[in-house]
Chains A and B, each alone.
Chain A
Amino acid sequence: MTTAVGQSVSRKDGIGKATGATKYADDLHFPGMLFGRTIRSTIPCGRVKSIRMDFDTSGFTIVDYRDIPHRNVVALIDEDQPYLVETEVRHMAEAIVLLAHEDREKLLGANVVIEYEEAEPVFDPERSPHSFKDITIEKGDVEDALASAEIVVEGTYRTGHQEHVYIETNGVIAVPEHGGIALYGSLQCPFYAYKALRSVLGNDHPLRVIQTETGGGFGGKEEYPSMIAGHAALLAVKSGRPVKIIYDRVEDMVATTKRHPSIVRHRTGLTREGRLVAMDVDVILDGGAYSTLSAVVLSRGCIHAAGPYRCDNVKIFGRAMFTNTPPNGAFRGFGAPQTEFAMEVHMERIAEQLGMDSLTLREMNALRPGDMTATSQVLKQDASALECLQEAVRRTDYRRKREELKGTNRGIGLALFYHGAGFTGAGEQRLASKARLDLTATGARIMVASTEIGQGTRTMHAQIVSDALGVPYETIEVAQPDTSVVADSGPTVASRTCMVVGKILERCALEMKERLEGMTPAQYHAKHGAFSIVKEHIQPEWMRWDDDNYQGDAYATYAWGCDVAEVEIDRDTYEVRPVKVTAVQEFGRPIHPALAMGQIEGGTVQGLGYALLEHVVMKNGAMANPTLTNYTIPTTLDTPELDIVMLENHYDGGPFGAKGLGELPMDGPAPAVVNAIRHLGLDLRDIPAIPETLIACASL
């Protein structure tokens, strides 16, 4: 029996946030603190010829690449991105010089004159000469199957950049302590920042990274904080004083990562009845000027590119291309929203060409337990594509509406989708995450690096420990992530914090319970004192993954969803208004129903913005509309009625049957909305579907 899990208990961070007592990075002050500022490139491609400080430099700390004590490289996957430009500039807003001063006005007034030798930039990923990563997934013989297919349908689909718009912009404070640095910051992954600081400062300094209360991340605070942390640390080391760097909204939008734009081409072979026999998919992501996480975003994108469908012959070829634009990076969904968008709009076009109903087409081809995915993973009983589809169709009376609404200004469309939980393939095994649980005088304290970024990590982890340990939820504390004290439970990304880290914590709690031998934590503590339990992730023993050929069990499990969007169009103005979205999603089971509902609502609205509103305008390699006046995200009035259904299908590998949920809701809304617009008779294949795009669309 559970008393906390499955209940919408009060949030661990709720009171502090509701009363305004919670301190965010910019609320923190340290004695003698300086403010930091980043001087950035104003060309997209070229070389720095000279740098001149055109101001009175007294009182300033000035850092360029020559001040870096160890390596001028942001430690991530490929290690190609410098903290500070040496001579080569690869994108707009690339950091070149750092300044710090105790007076913000003086800091903002400082004029650094940089002379460049400009070179010809590359902005079109299709014309780029350089790919950061190529991935090929191959099953069966696609060319053979296409040649013998009764029908072949082709199509190209495009998605734009998307900005995270977390409510709190990026910000950190580097504080000198004990001959080293303590780095406080708004971030998702304290140990990523730790590793990055080691790379820039070397191994001689003591280091710790402390996550401050974080106002949203959505992936935008996965890898980027490593950059800003390094900058603040360099200024702090040189000045010997605490240095705070907080980006304003414009700087945050111009300089930091965004969702990768994509171009996805499909060539699909089918029988006349509509059975998929061959899928040839070409995926291009615009990686920007450095590799950052593009290789793994591409990997997840490619693995999800064939959609939740069975097909014996699949070839997916993906490339993440270099362009002279600020690097794109992690964003909720991590490549899957782009490729699943293409797949789901393509399915609609296949149905149109076959002259069949797209629902029947999906039902016929949807992955079922026992079926094989594109990577030849055989699905277990926790595959719920059909259940989601059928429930969504039933609740919305989809078939009847699809007929009845024809010829009106209201359209209805759906999207079927899925999302692998946790790191891909052997990723979780390599990470080998650890969690620690400390017994306290009143209960237990969770000691993990997993971060609360608004999604409910602390609450959800405490619920799991509370029930596994059999003690009241209120007696479970959660430590602030500080790399010097907590276990490295891995990054807070990839829909893994509940399923993977939650499971390790559950095992910690179960072992602690055994050690307590029937005593309460208080009784045990009084008698024997405190102790800790540390556990490491255990990869399911059945998982096999071939990283060279991208074949095998890509994820331990998948969450599944079906979104139905109903939209209205004004044919005078091409305004599209979502009227209702029904989201049926299966993610094992909700640990905290209200928080899970919040994840689905938030992800759905973020997906609606991606589909209809959010347009990053790039000019000469930089975002030209980097303000919230010109980059529009949905408000409450743009949010339609949401009907959210949480289907349960317990996954044995997760805590109390839970899978990951964070990213799934982002995958469905864009294709569902675009398919609803297709139902209105517009041949739309690209997002964002702003009125100018719609007005140029051919009629079906």
Chain B
Amino acid sequence: MSEVPDQLLMGNEAIARGALEAGISFAAGYPGNPSSEIIETLAKEAKNHRLYVEWSINEKVALEAAAAASFAGLRALATMKQNGVNVASDFITNLTLSGTGAGLVLVTCDDPSGISSTNEQDARFIARLADLPLLEPSSPQEALEMTRFAFDLSESIHNLVVLRSVSRLSHTRQNCRLGELRREDPRPRVDLNKVFHTFPVMPKHQIMHDKLRRAAEAGEQSPFNRYEGPDRPELMIITCGSGWDYSREAVELLGLGYRVGVVKLGMTWPLPVKWLRPWMEKVSKVLFIEEVDPFLEAGVKEWAAQIGPEIGTREFFGKESGHIPHWGEQTPDRVIEALTGILGLDYQSRESVYQEKISKRIQEMVPPREFGFCPGCPHRATYWAVKNALHLDGREGFVAGDIGCYTMGIGPTGFNQIKSVHAMGSGLGLLSGYGQLSPFGFSQPVISVVGDSTFFHAAIPALINLVHNQAKALILVLDNRATAMTGFQPHPGLETNVLGQAVPPIPVENLCASLGLPVTILDPFDLEPTSEQIFQALQETEGVRVLILRRPCALVQGREGGYPFRMQVNAERCLGEACGCNRYCSRVFRCPGLIWDEKSGRAQIDEVICVGCGVCTQVCPQKAIEKEERQAS
């Protein structure tokens, strides 16, 4: 038997490895942090296995594509972030009634604290909503093993199994023990004696609940439920996923190993109540530690109420009691605070004098840095043109934003132009409303900005609705030739797919033309003409107008040779802080390549950061910023 050496894997890589060990043939997903590395890892591996991998247009299609593979007898994986589960939910709630074929696993990577998301949302709701087994790994090793387990479980009950990760787990690295890669190459075939529909609904609903009961048995028997602590704990922490590590760390720091026990559940829906019961019987105080919603908390309390007549009541602490906030990701400090609060202990993680000192130092040494577009980013130029056009228009117009790097239009880097952001494509969706309000006296022009990738993902149905319902709308497609925010994954407007194969690109303008929409293509780097065009479009009183602002992302441009200019500020022409300028370039335009030199009282180019795009020459009121073409070396 060959010994496979251990490998340092991040959580997402471990999940990918687990899926390969489970013998998947198909993987689909949609880019979204913290899930993206799973598909990216599998795509790199695809050539070494009989494996098809794609970035689908959205998460519903991704799961549908994976489900097809499952119906045809191939094990399949679908990956997404928490919002993706919302998008896929219509399919999920039907799939759970139709049942699946070969093992099918949905991995959701949630983002506690919404560090890279528009919301902070718990995707575990889908397990209760669709009556699906739910697994939560607490380490990359466990993620690998649970993924394998999930496929076996899915196949045994013929239903989808959900595996839930969070940012810290997906992106943390651990030495992982690898298993054997399963090599089975079934020929895909849909058995026509089977059906994959949901009718008749009620009997199938009953069958679905039976499947869940069988999954519960598997959960009870799984090696993923653990207990650590004294035989008779005074207080028991019930946790899952990353909470396991935080809880153990807190208990150790506080030296409470003799008083506090920690239970970790691997399957958090349905709950392994038989396994849990002996522990519940022994303890009177329970603290719940989990990421985002009190999902585990609610489930356990529900069960505890059910068995209350048998074992009596318990004191429960967690998000509902206020010992853990409802918002923000968990940390050892949060667990410590809860424990000390419940047990009446005194604990200071840092001396207050030290705390004061470092707070002061941070203020002095760490400059406040806001989110900002890269130097050379076309979005900065776009928002500059939009800002000017809206001001000249003077009717209190505003921008309905969408999701991508350009979401930063909500802040100073995009001149605070965006007034709303929700889900993918919601900007255009909102325009279906705003665009019908003129007869009521609504006079504010509304512009929707949407990226090229977001356009394909979600904007098309909204665009069709605008045309069909004859709304008044102005849409700016910010085509930077990339799905930049999530890491440059391919999208249908580009020329290669995730497997590196050449594919025919689908131009945005062709889609618009097919709807009968006149399209103007502009280069946002031409600030004045772009602003002019936007202004003119704002004057139209009806119909849908689409402007495509096309210029590559600065990082894409960088990979293709960058920009040719060497920039310089003419210190004699620069007015600096004087009336007539007041640091217009560094203070208002805010490209990070433009800096303020206190000593000379003049603007300067930061030659390390500036990429030489040359746009700022159009911004300086004194024409003091000069560009010179670099000589080819």
Q: Do A and B bind each other?
A: no
